[in-house]
Chains A and B, each alone.
Chain A
Amino acid sequence: MLDVADLHSHYGRAHILADVTLHVGRGEVVALLGRNGAGKSTTFKTIMGLVKPTSGSVMFNGETISGAGSHTICQKGLGYVPEDRRIFTDLTVMENLEVGRQPEREGAPAWTVEKLFSVFPNLAEMRNRPGGRMSGGEQQMLTIARTLMGHPSAILLDEPSEGLAPVIVEQMAQTIGALKSEGLTVLLSEQNLHFATLLADRAYIIEKGRIRYEGTMADLAADEEVRAAYLTV
């Protein structure tokens, strides 16, 4: 469903991504693992058109999307949940959801505000609260809900567990599991291996802008050496 091939990207002269290739199949949850600064967020931003790739291609549902504007990519059904949440702090929960609203599309799970509130019950109790007055966990829920309002068929989920309390992380894992069972395709970036293990079918490991490992979650769990080389701090 999502095919990234030989993606290169630069910030100024700094070469951030080199030859990133990955594949996510329909209905799959795939984890992109790596340490801080390995290039996870840049990979996502490049797929999403927020950073222009210097070369390489991104295909989504059989269409080339690299080079398109981010709003076009979103309208094709690829949702993006940024790492630092980027909630509109001046807007209420309902207004934040409104910004994310797009027409429904075929072949993707459809969402309504009420349906989202059943997945994220916390949000239902604070419909008119400004985004700036929510806790980190609540904001993380809202940023996912906001993206789902665009009825994506796949989402890029950038470090959803970052900065959250362990109990919230567990809750987050359950929620994402629920999204998966709705049929949503997920590419997830993580530093938290445990969190990824709860959700992902397969994993890629990125280090210094290059993909270093590819395999099923079970393989990775068994491979002490790879984990030590690329993941443990």
Chain B
Amino acid sequence: MGFYFAQFLTGLASAASLFLVASGLSIIFGVTRIVNFAHGSFYMLGAYLAYTLVDAWQAGPFGFWGAVIIAAVAVGFIGAAIEFLLLRRIYHAPEMFQLVATFGVVLVIQDLTLMIWGAEDLVGPRAPGLDGAVEIFGELVPEYDLALIVLGPAVLGGLWLLFNRTRWGTLVRAATQDREMVGALGVNQSWLFTGVFFLGSLLAGLGGALQVPREAVSLLMDLNIIAEAFVVVVIGGMGSIPGAFLAAVLLGEMNAFGILIFPQITLVMMFLVMAVVLVVRPWGLLGKAEAAARPPSGAAEPPLRVAGGMMRWLAMGGLAVLLLLPFLTDEFTLVLLIDIMVFALFAASLHFIMGAGGMVSFGHAAYFGLGAYGAALLIKFLSMPMELTLILAPVIAGIGALAFGWFCVRLSGVYLAMLSMAFAQIAWSVVFQWYEVTGGDDGLLGIWPSEWASDKTVFYYLTIAVCGGGIWALRRILFAPFGYTLRAGRDSALRVDAIGIDLRRHQWFSFALAGMFAGIAGTIYVFSKGSVFPDEMSIPRSVDGLIMVLLGGVQTVAGPVVGAASLTLLEDFISRLDYWRMMLGAVVIAIVVAAPQGIAGAFLQLIPARWTGREETA
């Protein structure tokens, strides 16, 4: 009995930080409508800053708590500065651009942290005065945990007072509902936004700072916490602070008790809880259904164009060059070209649901990884030949996408993005932790193609056939009735429903289809590398796909191919440098700020329509 109670208290204590981070995320989203990917980075920064300050001031007048508070406030100012310098420029950009830009911030902060604090995990001191343990029902419970248990509800209460008893809080709540109207009533939104960013970032920083005595400070903190915070927000309801508290406690307890059975079950349970909540209450436990969005003022997205004339010749010419290249270059170039083609198919499959379906998946690498791991496992455990795995592994990825997609298509916009990312993170964790089967961090090695395809040149032609064929097939579907339905649904779900089309079913199938094509890319990838690691399904890989699509431009069909080539070449070049993440992050941010239409999109704007094909509406 005492043991279970102690475990219950541990769960509550770990919920405190999660609640702080998730509530900050929720508050920022409520007003600015930006899902701040960098929120996890603020949490990490809070932890690192607190580590340094505690170390320096331990004996001084500020002491531990002073260090924690200063660290949190500093993170608040960093957040406000990022809002002021970067996000202000992109409030009117489509939400996926905003997400990708904030991911650029994640990359920059990651390398800055690495630069300042190094790669080693740092173990902070315990909180002075709270470094003992109290005996409760015969079990020792750390005093610091008890302090956190009190702190969580205290912050919840403080936030409630702030939002319900102050003018600033009233304005924030009003802006959450209709920020344009708040502006028309004379409130300067810019400062309201900056203030909200300050508060939200401060909460994330506080969450991180408070973790210093509990866990080692590491560079993995940012993406781990952001995935959990997304889950909390999806379960608790976006914009609801009490909901975030409830969900954080739920998750904390699930972890505390799940770990008693076996560690992996917490992931499965998280999945199940999310599933149940989303089916019963799609907007989260305490969330409210989004009011129908106001129709965007401004130009509608131009329709996709069927390639014609010059573009078709360009594609043919490109293919011809690709076919001739093995006679002209070395093996190293072929390997790079195989990578480009694999990622072109991966990006094209993501573009398929994003561009046509309007569903921004932030976890598309899950299906790439499922294809790769599927193939590797089929070979390892069933000794299947490559030819068969080329068919079966994508089916596995498709089935995974069918399962995850069932939940995802119930949501839209940023909720869909967050949920898809949470699923991908769950899939990643399973692969990462299930050492007996997946080899965990060590990956699976020795996955080579069949004898006849083992020559690089032959494999290169195989890649052209499979990836080129895949991209061609996706294009065909895009311009088939199924694709028209998807695009119609993207532009107006209501109208599509009203003419008797089951849109959700179409979206679900397109999600699964995209997953399957990503799986094909993953399968080819594993055979080209001979190995697979959990990284292939991690968040950065998912974001790679998004960056490729955005680089190429969402509303162009050629975009994903151009984007994949650009990013693969860019990464190939800069990943040889130190701190390449920071450079990549800076490039991503620059692109979002400067060319929201992407490279191919911007290029298309420059040349007349008659060269590239007819307008479909004509």
Q: What residues make up the interface of A, taking CB atoms closer than 8 Å to B? A: 11-13, 48, 50-51, 69-71, 74-75, 80, 82, 86, 88-91, 95-96, 98-102, 146-147, 150
CB contacts under 8 Å to A, within B173-207, are 173-174, 176-178, 180-189
Known contacts A12-B300, A95-B170, A99-B171; A82 and B185 CB within 8 A of each other: no
Bound complex: CA of A140 vs CA of B79, how far in Å? 39
Known contacts A88-B174, A99-B171; A74 and B185 CB within 8 A of each other: yes
Chain B residues whose CB sits within 8 angstroms of the CB of A99 once the complex forms? 170-171, 174, 182, 185, 187
Bound complex: CA of A89 vs CA of B178, how far in Å? 10
Contact A90 B173 (CB under 8 A): yes
Bound complex: CA of A99 vs CA of B171, how far in Å? 6
Contact B177 A11 (CB under 8 A): no
Q: How many residues belonging to B are interface residues under a CB distance threshold of 8 Å?
A: 22
Contact B299 A89 (CB under 8 A): no
Known contacts A13-B299, A51-B297, A98-B167; A70 and B173 CB within 8 A of each other: no
Interface string of B519-530 (1 = CB under 8 A from A): 000000000000
Contact A70 B297 (CB under 8 A): no
**Additional 7 contacts, C-beta under 8 A, given A48-B184, A70-B184, A91-B173:** A12-B297, A51-B297, A69-B188, A80-B184, A82-B184, A86-B178, A102-B185
Contact A100 B185 (CB under 8 A): yes
Q: Taking the complex as formed, is B61 at the interface, i.e. its CB lies under 8 A from any CB of chain A?
A: no
* Max count, chain B CB within 10 A of own CB: residue among A50, A75, A86, A99: A99
Chain B residues whose CB sits within 8 angstroms of the CB of A51 once the complex forms? 297
Known contacts A12-B300, A71-B189, A98-B167; A88 and B177 CB within 8 A of each other: yes
Contact B185 A147 (CB under 8 A): yes
Contact B173 A88 (CB under 8 A): yes
Bound complex: CA of A30 vs CA of B180, how far in Å? 25
Known contacts A11-B297, A91-B174; A86 and B181 CB within 8 A of each other: yes
Contact B183 A69 (CB under 8 A): yes
Known contacts A82-B181, A90-B173; A71 and B298 CB within 8 A of each other: no
For A77, the closest partner residue in chain B by CB is: B186
Contact A90 B186 (CB under 8 A): no
Contact A50 B189 (CB under 8 A): no
Closest Cβ–Cβ distance, residue B44 to chain A (whole Å): 33
Chain A residues whose CB sits within 8 angstroms of the CB of B298 once the complex forms? 11-12
Chain B residues whose CB sits within 8 angstroms of the CB of A102 once the complex forms? 185-186
Contact A98 B186 (CB under 8 A): no
Bound complex: CA of A48 vs CA of B186, how far in Å? 11
Chain A residues whose CB sits within 8 angstroms of the CB of B187 once the complex forms? 71, 99
Contact B178 A88 (CB under 8 A): yes
Chain B residues whose CB sits within 8 angstroms of the CB of A150 once the complex forms? 185-186
Bound complex: CA of A89 vs CA of B170, how far in Å? 12
Can you list 19 A-B pairs with a CB-CB distance of less than 8 A? A48-B184, A50-B180, A69-B188, A70-B184, A71-B184, A71-B185, A71-B188, A71-B189, A74-B183, A88-B177, A89-B177, A90-B176, A91-B170, A91-B173, A95-B174, A98-B167, A100-B185, A147-B185, A150-B186
Interface of B is mostly: helix
Bound complex: CA of A20 vs CA of B171, how far in Å? 34
Contact A74 B184 (CB under 8 A): yes
Bound complex: CA of A90 vs CA of B173, how far in Å? 8
Listed from nearest, the 3 A-B pairs whose CB atoms lie closest are A74-B186, A12-B299, A86-B181
Closest Cβ–Cβ distance, residue B558 to chain A (whole Å): 24
* Max count, chain A CB within 10 A of own CB: residue among B170, B184, B297: B184
Bound complex: CA of A147 vs CA of B186, how far in Å? 9
Closest Cβ–Cβ distance, residue B191 to chain A (whole Å): 10
For A100, the closest partner residue in chain B by CB is: B185
CB contacts under 8 Å to A, within B130-175, are 167, 170-171, 173-174
For A149, the closest partner residue in chain B by CB is: B185
Bound complex: CA of A11 vs CA of B176, how far in Å? 25
Closest Cβ–Cβ distance, residue B89 to chain A (whole Å): 16
* Max count, chain A CB within 10 A of own CB: residue among B167, B181, B188: B181
Chain B residues whose CB sits within 8 angstroms of the CB of A50 once the complex forms? 180, 183-184
Bound complex: CA of A150 vs CA of B187, how far in Å? 10
Bound complex: CA of A90 vs CA of B182, how far in Å? 14
For A146, the closest partner residue in chain B by CB is: B185
Contact A70 B177 (CB under 8 A): no
Bound complex: CA of A88 vs CA of B177, how far in Å? 7
Bound complex: CA of A69 vs CA of B180, how far in Å? 11
Known contacts A11-B297, A88-B177, A88-B178; A98 and B170 CB within 8 A of each other: yes
Contact A71 B297 (CB under 8 A): no
* Max count, chain A CB within 10 A of own CB: residue among B177, B186, B297: B186
Interface string of B282-319 (1 = CB under 8 A from A): 00000000000000011110000000000000000000
Bound complex: CA of A141 vs CA of B110, how far in Å? 52
Contact A70 B183 (CB under 8 A): yes
Chain A residues whose CB sits within 8 angstroms of the CB of B173 once the complex forms? 88, 90-91, 95
* Max count, chain B CB within 10 A of own CB: residue among A12, A70, A82: A70
Chain A residues whose CB sits within 8 angstroms of the CB of B167 once the complex forms? 98, 101
Bound complex: CA of A102 vs CA of B183, how far in Å? 12
Contact B170 A71 (CB under 8 A): no
Chain A residues whose CB sits within 8 angstroms of the CB of B189 once the complex forms? 71
Chain B residues whose CB sits within 8 angstroms of the CB of A100 once the complex forms? 185-186
Bound complex: CA of A71 vs CA of B167, how far in Å? 17
For B167, the closest partner residue in chain A by CB is: A98
